[in-house]
Amino acid sequence: MPVIQLSKISTRAPKGINKEKIKAKTAQLLVELDNLQNLLYAESKHSVLMVVQGMDASGKDGLVRNVFGKLNPQGVLVKSYKAPTAEELSHDFLWRIHQHCPGKGLIQIFNRSHYEDILITRVHKWCDDKQARLRMKAINDFEELLTRHNHTHILKFYLHISPEEQQQRLRERIKDPQKQWKYNEKDFEEAKLWKDYMKVYQDAFNHCNKPAWHIVPSDQNWYKDYLVANALHQLLSGLHMQYPGLKK
C-alpha cells in the first residue's frame, strides 16, 4: 500500500476536464444510483457505510445534499458527529459509533466519524501517540468486524481542499446570508493548525487503510460530487444484486 502524502495530491480536477460533461455524468450516475439503492434495500443482503472526513468547509454537508439527497430517504441514513456528550465520554470511543452502523439494505453516511478520535484529539493533545496507536488498532478491528461479519462495505473519503480554498469558504460564511448559520469563529483558529491536521490525517490514512481511503480533490464541488457518486456506483454495481422473488 503506497504511503499517502497529501502535499503531493492535487486539490483540483485535472486540467482539460470538461466541467459540463462531468456534471452530466454525475446526473446520470445519480439516476442509476437511485435504482441500485432500491435494489440494495430490496435484496437486503449488504449494507454500505460511507465515511466522509475533511477539514472545516471542505464540503461535507454539500456532498450529502448533492449526491445522497437524490436517493430514497427510506434507505439512506446520515449521522453527523459532533463533540461527544458526557454520556458518550463515559463509554469507549467506539460506543457512539457502533450504534449507528447500517443494517442490511441500508446506506449509512458518517459526516465526520470515529476518525475524529485520532484527529482533533491528537492535534489538541487530548490523546497522545501511544493511545492513538491503540485506537487505530481498535478502528481496524472494528472495520474488519463490520466487513467480515455483517456484509458491510466501507467507503472512506477524505475531501481534499487547499488552505486557500478553505479560507475563501470560511470568509463566505461571514458575507453570505445563506451561509451565515454555518459560521463558527473557532473554525479560523482550527485553520491555523493546518499542518498539524495534515500530519495526523496522513498518519490515519497510512495506518487505517483497509479499506483504503479515497482522497477526493474538493476545491471544485462538481468534481468532488462526481468522484464520490462514481465510487458508490462502482461498489453497488459490483455486488451483482438481484430482486428477491415472491415469498413462499
Q: Please report, for the chain, the start and end positions of each structural domain, with discontinuous segments joined by +.
A: 39-237
Residue 2 has pLDDT above 80, yes or no: no
Tell me the three state secondary structure of residue 208: coil
Q: Is the pLDDT of residue 1 over 80?
A: no
Angle subtended at Cα 219 by Cα 209 and Cα 186, rounded to the nearest 5 degrees: 85
The pLDDT score that the predictor gives to residue 247 is 79
pLDDT at 94: 98
Asked if the model's pLDDT at residue 13 lies above 70, the reply is yes
The pairing of beta strand 152-160 with beta strand 213-217 = parallel
Predicted confidence (pLDDT) per residue in 196-246, tens digit: 999 999 999 999 999 999 999 999 999 999 999 999 999 999 999 999 988
pLDDT digits (tens, 9 = 90+) for 122-181: 999 999 999 999 999 999 999 999 999 999 999 999 999 999 999 999 999 999 898 899
Helix axes 19-43, 221-237, angle to 10 degrees: 40
Could you give the CA distance from residue 106 to residue 76 in angstroms, rounded to a whole number? 6
pLDDT in tens, 58-107: 999 999 999 999 899 999 999 999 999 999 999 999 999 999 999 999 99
- Does the domain spanning 39-237 belong to CATH 2.60.120.10? no
